[in-house]
Structure 1
Amino acid sequence: MSRRVKDFVEIRDYTSLDMLIEKLIEVRDSLPEAAEAEVKMRGDDVFGRQLSISYFREQTAEEAECDARYADAYRASRDKELSRLQDEVGAVAEAPRGRRGGKLRIVA
């Protein structure tokens, strides 16, 4: 299964409009198809401002391998946290008629 990863490019060093346009064109040409790129201005007057470009790309084989390595540990910690929350809330209470049981579930 192929996953998409959100990645970022920051443009900090630009002193003229022409330089900024050249850098933006360079970044645009290097983005993958269907990247859904977004541009935001970040920073402030004290620490400086930069343009931040976020986009989606396919996950690399190395990233997929790392995800697979930790998937079981993540799932176990999530299940443990869910059990703790259900115990804390008492979520196994009687549900109103016509509705599903009162158990909590993680959706994200």
Structure 2
Amino acid sequence: MFSPAPASPCGSVSTSSSPRTAAASAPEIADWVTWYSGLPAFVDPDPERAYWTVVGGPILVANAKLGAAAYVDDRAIHHSGDWTDTLATVRRAVGLDCIGTPVRA
């Protein structure tokens, strides 16, 4: 079982279902995300959405992969059950671990 996620910077869950199947299963996926993460989740009402930028939650469940600085999935940043480690990896991947660090010109 995965540990509950801390308040996320912003997050979404993309389903790989067809639009018709996703419409039927999306509420169940949102309930599952809420149950296992401890964060509120809801089904995306906007089929034209390109990004999800709400900071601190809730989690968006969409049937399309939205634009992002980094993805946590089986082919990108791996989540092994520890959200502290996963989010630290995301921060390194997008350069947020270097904020305030002088950069040589």
TM bucket (normalised to shorter chain) is 0.3 to 0.5
Please tell me whether Structure 1 or Structure 2 has the larger radius of gyration of its CA atoms.
Answer: 1
User: TM-score, length-normalised on structure 1?
Assistant: 0.35
User: TM-score, length-normalised on structure 2?
Assistant: 0.36
Q: Which has the higher helix share?
A: 1
Higher RCO structure, 1 or 2 (CA under 8 Å, sep 6+): 2
Q: Which has the higher strand share?
A: 1
